[in-house]
C-alpha cells in the first residue's frame, strides 16, 4: 500500500510540475471546470495527497543525498510540487500542512544549497534566537523534570544553533507541537540539533526506542551526520550511530549489523530491542562504544 502511494505521489509530482496542469491553470476553463477543479483540489488533494506526500518525504530519508551528481530523485520537482500543494491546502488542513512544511524544510537542509536546497546560516539570526529563547523559557518553566527552570548556557548554545537553521526556527516559533518535540529532544535529551532538523522520520523512530536519552547521557556526538565515500567513489550524506565502536548508517531499517558472536540483526530489529526495554532487558545495550551485544542481567553476550 505504501509503495503504491509513493508511486501515486511521484505521478502527482510530475503532474504538478506540468505548467499546463488543470489544477494550477484556470485559464480557458469553463465555470463548471473551475468549480470542479476547486473541489478536487481542496477536498480530495488536501487530505489524501498531503498525507501521502508526508509519508513520501519519510521514505526519501532512506536514500542518502549525493554530493557529486547522480541523484535518484529530482529534488527540484519534489520541492516545487510540495510548495504548490502547500499553497493549495485550506485552513482546516493545518495538521497536514504543518507536517508537510516540516518535512519539506528538512529536505531542503538535508540536500543543501548545492543540490537546490538551503544551507545553515554561518551566524544565527538574532531575531529568531530571541523568539526561540522566549518560547523555550516558557516551555522549560512548565516542565517538572527540571529542577532549575532557567535556561542554562548549554540550552542557549542549542537555541543559537537552531536559529542558524532559519526556516526551521520559524516553524518552531509558530508550531507548539513541533516546539515541544524539539525541546524534549534537544534540551531534555540533549541530542544534536542538526539531526533533528534534517532527519525528522528517523528521529521519530529513535524517539520510540528509548535510545535518545541514552545518546544524550553518554554523548550526543555519537549520533551524527556524516559524508561518506561509497565503494563506487561517490559522496553521500548518512546518519550514523556506532555499533561496537564502528559508525554505521541507521537510515535503512533493513540494513544488517553483525555484532560479536556473529549476532546479526537489522536496524529495525535493533530499534525494536530498545523499544521493548521497559518490558524485557534484551541482548543489546548502549554504552560508550555505541550499541553493543550485552545483556545486563547476564553480564555478558
Mean pLDDT of the chain: 86
Sign of torsion over alpha carbons 93, 94, 96, 101: positive
Q: What is the pLDDT of residue 187?
A: 97
Ranking 14-23, 95-104, 129-138 by mean pLDDT, the lowest is: 14-23
Confidence of residue 25 (pLDDT cuts 50, 70, 90): very low
What does the pLDDT look like over 231-258, one tens digit per residue? 888 899 999 999 999 999 999 999 999 9
- Higher pLDDT pick, 85 / 256: 256
Confidence of residue 84 (pLDDT cuts 50, 70, 90): confident
Q: What is the pLDDT of residue 112?
A: 97
Query: What is the Rg, in whole angstroms, of the alpha carbon atoms belonging to the chain?
Result: 21
List, in sequence order, the alpha helices (H) in 208-282. 211-218, 267-275
Q: What is the pLDDT of residue 16?
A: 62
Q: What is the pLDDT of residue 29?
A: 47
pTM: 0.86
Q: What's the whole-number mean pLDDT along residues 61-85?
A: 89
Say if residue 94's pLDDT is above 80.
Answer: yes
Q: What's the whole-number mean pLDDT along residues 197-202?
A: 98
Between CA 63 and CA 44 the distance in angstroms is: 29
Q: What's the whole-number mean pLDDT along residues 209-215?
A: 93
Residue 229: DSSP 8-state: E
Cell of 98: 504543518
Between CA 62 and CA 130 the distance in angstroms is: 34
- Higher pLDDT pick, 298 / 182: 182
Confidence of residue 100 (pLDDT cuts 50, 70, 90): very high
Q: What's the whole-number mean pLDDT along residues 275-280?
A: 84
Q: What is the pLDDT of residue 35?
A: 39
Q: What is the pLDDT of residue 8?
A: 63
Amino acid at each position: 500500500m505504501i509503495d503504491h502511494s509513493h508511486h501515486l505521489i511521484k505521478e502527482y509530482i510530475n503532474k504538478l510540475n506540468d505548467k499546463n496542469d488543470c489544477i494550477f491553470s484556470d485559464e480557458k476553463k469553463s465555470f463548471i471546470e473551475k468549480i470542479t477543479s476547486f473541489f478536487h483540489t481542496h477536498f480530495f488533494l488536501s487530505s489524501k495527497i498531503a498525507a501521502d506526500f508526508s509519508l513520501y518525504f519519510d521514505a526519501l530519508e532512506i536514500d542518502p543525498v549525493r554530493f557529486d551528481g547522480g541523484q535518484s530523485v529530482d529534488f527540484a520537482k519534489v520541492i516545487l510540487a510540495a510548495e504548490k500543494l502547500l499553497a493549495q491546502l485550506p485552513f482546516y488542513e493545518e495538521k497536514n500542512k504543518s507536517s508537510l512544511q516540516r518535512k519539506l524544510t528538512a529536505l531542503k537542509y538535508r540536500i543543501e544549497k548545492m543540490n537546490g536546497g538551503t544551507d545553515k546560516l554561518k551566524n544565527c539570526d538574532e531575531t529568531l534566537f530571541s523568539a526561540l529563547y522566549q518560547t523555550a523559557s516558557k516551555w522549560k518553566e512548565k516542565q517538572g523534570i527540571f529542577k532549575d527552570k532557567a535556561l542554562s548556557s548549554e540550552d542557549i548554545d542549542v537555541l543559537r544553533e537552531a536559529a542558524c537553521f532559519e526556516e526551521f526556527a520559524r516553524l518552531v516559533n509558530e508550531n507548539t507541537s513541533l516546539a515541544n518535540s524539539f525541546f524534549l529532544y534537544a534540551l531534555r535529551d540533549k541530542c544534536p540539533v542538526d539531526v533533528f532538523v534534517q532527519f525528522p522520520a528517523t528521529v521519530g523512530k529513535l524517539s520510540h526506542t528509548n535510545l535518545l536519552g541514552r545518546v544524550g547521557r553518554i554523548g550526543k556526538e555519537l549520533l551524527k551526520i556524516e559524508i561518506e565515500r561509497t565503494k563506487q567513489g561517490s559522496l553521500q550524506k548518512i546518519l550514523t550511530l556506532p555499533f561496537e565502536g564502528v559508525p554505521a548508517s541507521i537510515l535503512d531499517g533493513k540494513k544488517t549489523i553483525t555484532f560479536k558472536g556473529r549476532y546479526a540483526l537489522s536496524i529495525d530489529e535493533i530499534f525494536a530491542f530498545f523499544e521493548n526495554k521497559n518490558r524485557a532487558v534484551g541482548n543489546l545495550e548502549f554504552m560508550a562504544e555505541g550499541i553493543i551485544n550485552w545483556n545486563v542481567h547476564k553480564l555478558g553476550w
